[in-house]
Amino acid sequence: MTIPDSGYMMENGSIELPCTPEEEARIIQELTRKAESNLREGNTYYVISNRWFMDWQRYVGQPLGAYPFNEDATQSQPSLLPNTASRPGPIDNSDIIIREIDGESDDPQLIITLEEGRDYVLVAQEVWERLSEWYKGGPALPRKMISMGDAKQLSVEVFPLCLNLHDTRDRSHKVIRLSKKASLHELYSIVCRLKGIAPEKARIWDYFNKRKHTVLVASDQTLEDSNLQMDQDILLEVQAEGLLLSGFGFDSTGNDLALVPIEPLRSSVTIAGGPTLSNGFSAGYSSNAYQGSSLSSTYGDMEDGYDSMRPASRGEKGGLAGLQNLGNTCFMNSAIQCLVHTPPLVEYFLQDYTDEINRQNPLGMHGELAFAFGELLRKLWSSGRAPVAPRAFKGKLGRFAPQFSGYNQHDSQELLAFLLDGLHEDLNRVKQKPYFETKDSDGRPDEEVADELWRYHRARNDSVIVDTCQGQYKSTLVCPVCNKISITFDPFMYLSLPLPSTVTRTMTVTVFYSDGSGLPMPYTVTVLKHGYIKDLIQALESACCLRTDEYLLLAEVYEHRIFRYFENPTDMLNSIKDDEHIVAYRLPKNVALLTRLEISHRYQDKCIIDSSKASERKLFLTPLVTFLEDPRNGIDIDFSVDKVLSPLRRKTFISPEPVFKDGAENGSPSEIIEEPMNSCTIQFGHEGRSMEYTEPVENSSRGMAFHLCLTDEQGTCCRPVVKDTVIQPARMLKVILDWTEKEYELYDASYLKDLPEVHKSGLTVKKTKQEAISLFSCLEAFLKEEPLGPDDMWYCPGCKEHRQASKKLDLWRLPDILVFHLKRFSYSRWLKNKLDTFVNFPIHNLDLSKYVKCKDATESSHVYELYAISNHYGGLGGGHYTAYCKLIDDDRWYHFDDSHVSAAAESDIKTSAAYVLFYRRVKVQQNGVVGGPSQCNRSS
């Protein structure tokens, strides 16, 4: 398309477009599409406050929350915002930047806790330039796109790396901001230019936790690969005149001055107890499979201050060290603490595991992830209670899993899944995986098929993770057409259990009468928290005594407009938030044969006399919905508006318009006396009919009682309705009622004001006892038979077609370490939600015998004991992760909250924050007494 000129300057400094808001939206979408087709490292994007961006979305008619990069956003959202909102003012990013105490800053910084989509959006440079031309404002917040991890995943670096530079000469400090992809050469260049010193006279230390670790060598190594963290300290030392600081010298090329430590901080022994090489590499890593491997890291790859090459053994206070939070890394700390307190993994990584590192596996991470995890575990078990900063491990994590890099909050279970899979591939004892062609069960016994598939799996996957953490479940699919049964046996690393929807939710909805037979009434009903729209409608039908010839039409009211109708009964209720305003209109069931009339209300400031200034009129009150029978002209619309407003008439008045009763003389106004309404009248009206005084003898004989305008779907035009206005046949009409002083005198508008929210929480709300469910009910919900979703169809080999088959899961083989993930978080395109349901889980004697279908007598016990929990507190945006872990040796529980570790009573570990549960198998003696933990059986 051809993008029109920018526009022309207005008196207020903004640029007025020579096009409609819809055309403005199309221009931005076209620019976005062009930017998307040219994604590459180094592109510039701009941060814009979501508050301002949502105002712009309302103005142009885009759905709220539509991500600007998504070209299909407006096409996939069924209900768009009305685009009659006021044109937004200048771009205002003041709510997302740090306010400087001494005035405006030349380099405004973003608040570190911001979340994309909630607080800000990212737009391409071309989009920013056009919006900036149209609206001005700012400040501009440009950011670069960088590639992350070995996979070179592109991402916008919203938060550059902030380093606190300390100068040893005057003890001053200065904040330096630069990309984590910048090299150490660039760091030296910036520091030397800032301090006015020659590069050959400078030496910069990694000064994490205000303690010297290593000298940062001026090289092409990036700051990210140097394990530098957000807001950490670096230390500048400057060579005095005539003196040469130790550690200064030229690199092997003789081109630049390289900074190297004089003495490498190394021990004389390796993990395996052998000697180390002079360059600090392990001799053990120089043999056979590890010849030339990048796995042999320098000291900078190790955890801070830890000599990783000495023999590892459990310290006197082993396992009680916390993990420093490196910036929203509580999710990582929680998952790590649970894993490093898993007894089989502790025993494995405290021994010599180097021979099992598989750097050749294309599915692994060259052994680097396993090595980094092993070194971190050894540090935590041998350092007493001093907190450990897992910088090296986080660096490896960001390299191999860019989704966990940066400083945003992530999901501890997602990290756990990545770690278990990554550790397995790095430690897989199988160097060359054999190929097996899987066979269909063909009626063979389940035991035979399960053992065959398990052998195939173990022939390709053999590691400590498989030994301890992998089990097997049976999956049964049944075709609904030909009844073809397909049985497979698949391995699992953990079980993700749904939380049954037994938690209820109270919702308040205001019900309106479309025939004018009663006043609007709010109803509060109780429904399943994760039910459907049809459940809410059924509850409201009972509460408001809905007649058999009526139905309820649900709608959301936003800024005095109907934002969307809920016409699909299978839509989820969790799409309705507590702070929204929901209404229901009582309509006749034969409404399909009628014309629906939607009425919005508008007022005009008394100071405005010029009727041409329609834009000065603003919407107010709650929209009404009624119906028309074969509308022909403006009088029909006027009469329907009068009928639906009739319950709002004030108690006693003389009608200014000739509204006739049956038998009244033509042209003589009749005095109308409002009847008192009891609860039955409010609910049912006058025997289901409109109030008597609203029924004229002849519609055509009356004049227009209201100032009405016909408007379109988006509300962009407004055509006055007069008596002779011809009404074209339509399924729905929208009109705007302009309120004058006459309407204010005749009708009580208070009934249409201040709609209640769906749910209003507060101190006055009575707290109900929190509902609890058992871990067993979650497991049964996971194992129950259910049909596959329409997006997850199964190709039936019998029908040769994709079918929505029914699926049934059964546990077949359980591992020694059994992990349960409670699915507290639900995600959809437009909604994220968390369940705080309390799950009652056993701590001791979790017996799963009845759920295991394998009846092999040699199978180990199915009794488990809890030893670790990953907890999540709070909501989606500002939550916090901790962990409860049990030290098996002293039979005591501890609470791990980042760096802080404290003793915990067993009675305190059951909370509604429990997110991931870790169980270990225990022996059951013949007399039924629970014994100690079972040993891992690699051949099982």
Cite the DSSP H helix spans in 839-885: none
Residue with structure tokens 């025997």?
A: 687
Which residues, in sequence order, are CB contacts of 657 under 8 Å at separation 6+? 669, 702, 703, 705
In a 3-state reduction of DSSP, which class is residue 333? helix
Which residues lie across from 115 on neighbouring strands? none
d(CA 571, CA 355): 55
Report the Cα 13 to chain-centroid distance in Å. 38
DSSP 890: T
Which residue's structure tokens are 């001026």? 218
Say how far apart CA 458 and CA 461 lie, in whole Å.
5
Burial class for 440, CB neighbours closer than 10 Å (0-12, 13-18, 19+): exposed
List 166, 192, 213, 330, catalytic entry: 330
Give the residue among 249, 245, 261 at the shortest CA–CA distance from 213.
Answer: 261
Strand 846-847 versus strand 248-250 pairing type: unpaired
Q: What are phi and psi of 564, to 5 degrees?
A: -160, 150
Task: Using DSSP, state whether 66 is helix, strand or coil.
Answer: coil
Query: Is 469 a residue of the active site?
Result: no
Token pair 């004018």 in the structure block, residue: 516
Question: Rounded to an integer, what distance in angstroms lies between the CA atom of residue 828 and that of residue 832?
Answer: 6
Give the C-alpha separation, 427 to 421, whole Å.
10
Radius of gyration of the chain (CA): 35
To which residue do tokens 């209720």 refer? 573
Residue 19, both tokens: 């096009």
Instruction: Dihedral sign for Cα 333, 338, 343, 344, please.
Output: negative
- The helix/strand/coil state of 372 is helix
CA dist 295 and 355 (Å) reads 13
Query: Is residue 880 annotated as a catalytic residue, yes or no?
Result: yes
Positive or negative, the Cα torsion across 346, 349, 350, 351? positive
Q: Which of 930, 802, 806, 927 is nearest to 866 (CA)?
A: 930
Rounded distance between C-alpha atoms, residue 355 and residue 478, angstroms: 45
Residues 6+ apart with CB under 8 A from 848: 779, 811, 814, 862, 863, 864
| Residues 813, 688: Cα–Cα separation, whole Å | 64
Q: Is the separation of the CB atoms in 832 and 496 below 8 Å?
A: no
Which among 914, 898, 895, 901 is positioned nearest to 330, based on CA atoms? 898
Q: Which amino acid is at 139?
A: P
Burial state string for 675-688 with b = 16 or more CB within 10 A and e = fewer than 16: eeeeeebbbebeee
- Active-site entry in 173, 185, 759, 880: 880
How many Cα neighbours within 13 Å face the side chain of 149?
A: 17
Residues marked as catalytic: 330, 880
